Amino acid sequence: MSQAKPQPEWTTEELWRAIKSAGVALWTWVIDDDTFVMDTRAYELCDISVEANLTFEHLSAKVHPADRDRVRAAFNATRGIDGPFEIDFRILTNASDVRWISARGQGNEGDAATKKMTGIFLDVTGRKQAEEGHELLAGEMSHRVKNLLALAAGLTTITSRSTDTKEEMAKQLTQRLAALGRAHELVRPLPDGQGKAALLGDLFTVLLAPYDDVGAFAGRIRVAVPRMGLGEKAATGLALVIHELATNSLKYGALSNDKGLLDISGTLVEDKVEIVWNEHNGDGEQQPRAPEGYGSKLLQRTVSGQLGGSIGYDWMDGGVVVTIRMDESSLSG
């Protein structure tokens, strides 16, 4: 029959070294006279100067106002209860910083006659910040998913009204969603404060590149716009605008034949950005029969609503000049 291994015994010095290395602070609360005794580490965590007669009320004054009542109630509840407890709360430091503390203790130490509680403080600020970060990320993801679903639903409705067959609807809807997907892939951090998502020139280049597949992109599309960064919202909105303009050009304008030209230029004057979409040598008259068709409504709604700008058309035989004006600040969101 095997014998149980003897339990190791640690010296007081070894225990103190372990406590110090773990960042643990020790405290004892004498309930009857409200005396609070802490070690040096606890005073540092709570950002309190060492006092001869520290009380629980002194400590409570350092607790964040939003947590103060909850902490008092938790500590008071242990007066008549034996056993362990744990509570997390915020401490306001003299530097106006917020520090998260986890208090863990043993009510009455298993003996109601002692009328005291002994426990530890742990600095859990890093863990709490990570948890808050995860919550923010989850909330942001939920918000983005809802927005994408609403956008997809709106595009589906608009596309269904502007097409005659299910095949045409599927094709146009797929192209519109793909344009949004390509814009989303461009989202990345940019250096030197240029923005949070894509570069303006990259957005035009990437979204117009697929027209090479239909033989309409042979050096005939020229892009010259200011080097500036776009926020994710602006990149998504502009992706829709570019796709709609390119689709119309492929049907009626410069991209509908082998002779057409498309010049896209941009200027930045003070806080205004102006983009000019200029088509030449298109087939026939590009101006739509219905001036307020669904595609036009989509463009107007996106530019004026999502991008906070304006869009204007100058129709001519074989082409169109589309001028989009936006505030520079609207492109960073």
- When the pLDDT of each residue in the chain is averaged and rounded to a whole number, the result is 78
Nearest to 120 by CA among 51, 23, 255: 23
Burial 12-48 (b: 16+ CB within 10 A, else e): eeeeeeeeeeeebbbbebbbeeeebebbebbbebbeb
- Is the predicted pLDDT of residue 287 greater than 60, yes or no? no
Q: Which two tokens stand for residue 10?
A: 């640690």
- Is the predicted pLDDT of residue 283 greater than 80, yes or no? no
Predicted pLDDT of residue 294: 63
Q: For the sheet containing 98-107, what is the strand order?
A: 35-38, 25-30, 116-123, 98-107, 83-92
Identify each DSSP E strand in the chain by its residue range. 25-30, 35-38, 83-92, 98-107, 116-123, 221-224, 261-269, 272-280, 310-316, 319-327
- Is the predicted pLDDT of residue 289 greater than 60, yes or no? no
| CATH numbers and ranges of domains, the chain | 12-123 (3.30.450.20), 128-331 (3.30.565.10)
256-275 pLDDT tens trace? 777 888 999 999 988 889 99
Residue at 2: amino acid letter: S
Residue scoring higher pLDDT (196 or 174): 174
Model confidence at 44, pLDDT cuts 50, 70, 90, reads: confident
Nearest to 231 by CA among 200, 267, 206, 275: 200
Q: Which two tokens stand for residue 133?
A: 């970060």
Residue scoring higher pLDDT (89 or 158): 89
Q: Which two tokens stand for residue 244?
A: 């709609």
185-208 pLDDT tens trace? 765 555 555 555 578 888 888 888
Model confidence at 181, pLDDT cuts 50, 70, 90, reads: confident
Predicted pLDDT of residue 265: 94
- Is the predicted pLDDT of residue 310 greater than 50, yes or no? yes
- Is the predicted pLDDT of residue 110 greater than 60, yes or no? no
